[in-house]
């Protein structure tokens, strides 16, 4: 017992030093997190990437572009619509390469960001890209669906950083409306 009492002050001192050593590390981590939050500016990121968003076109059927439920926005599926109103069309594995599919998915991402901006007024209100469903118009033998939908996912991460990382499905379809190369929908969490 005498030996334990003799070492007790040393144990207390070591415990205090450990707590003191940990505090600056925790403060540095908190500062880094705050810096990331302070630097969060999707609008500026789009400008830096040279991407300008346009007003979304009218829906082509009996649906709306987006539905808000609480702090979630569910965006209807969009395709790779170009500025002139035409689409990137064709089947992956027959008419289009993986690289062309990637670009079609990226263009679809820009179109979805246009819808999101029209809904929110400012993309800085996005808290998180939650879920993406990427549908790829492909021949039955095609298996590179994830590489195609990466065009969309990579853009979300470029624009939103860590908040752009999302859960995702990338699946093949026997056909898509108007023979578009891809159709992609997403769910977005927004600040209250």
Which tens digits make up the pLDDT trace of 27-52? 654 454 444 446 899 999 999 999 99
| pLDDT value at residue 159 | 97
* Residue 56 token pair: 């979304």
For 51-75, what is each residue's pLDDT tens digit? Answer: 999 999 888 889 999 999 999 999 9
Residue 82 phi, psi dihedral angles, 5° rounding: -85, 170
Retrieve residue 36's tokens: 């990331």
The pLDDT value recorded for residue 25 is 57
129-159 confidence digits (pLDDT tens): 999 999 999 999 999 999 999 999 999 999 9
Give yes or no for a contact between 151 and 103, defined as CB atoms under 8 angstroms apart. yes
Q: Look up tokens 């205090």; give the residue.
A: 16
User: Counting every residue, how long is the chain?
Assistant: 192
The most distant pair of C-alpha atoms in the chain lies apart, rounded to whole Å, by 87
> Does pLDDT of 3 surpass 50?
yes
The DSSP output letter for 8 is H
């Amino acid at each position: 017992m005498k030996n334990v009492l003799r070492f007790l002050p040393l144990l207390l001192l070591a415990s205090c030093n450990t707590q003191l050593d940990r505090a600056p590390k925790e403060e540095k981590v908190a500062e880094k997190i705050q810096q990331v939050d302070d630097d969060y500016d999707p609008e500026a990121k789009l400008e830096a990437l040279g991407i300008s968003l346009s007003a979304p076109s009218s829906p082509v059927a009996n649906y709306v572009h987006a539905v808000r439920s609480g702090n979630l926005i569910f965006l209807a599926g969009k395709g790779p619509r170009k500025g002139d109103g035409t689409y990137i069309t064709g089947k992956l594995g027959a008419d289009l390469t993986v690289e062309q599919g990637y670009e079609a998915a990226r263009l679809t991402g820009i179109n979805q960001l246009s819808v999101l901006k029209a809904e929110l007024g400012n993309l800085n209100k996005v808290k998180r890209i939650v879920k993406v469903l990427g549908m790829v118009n492909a021949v039955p033998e095609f298996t590179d669906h994830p590489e195609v939908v990466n065009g969309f996912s990579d853009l979300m991460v470029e624009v939103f950083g860590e908040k752009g990382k999302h859960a995702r499905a990338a699946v093949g379809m026997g056909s898509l409306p108007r023979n578009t190369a891809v159709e992609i929908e997403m769910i977005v969490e927004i600040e209250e």
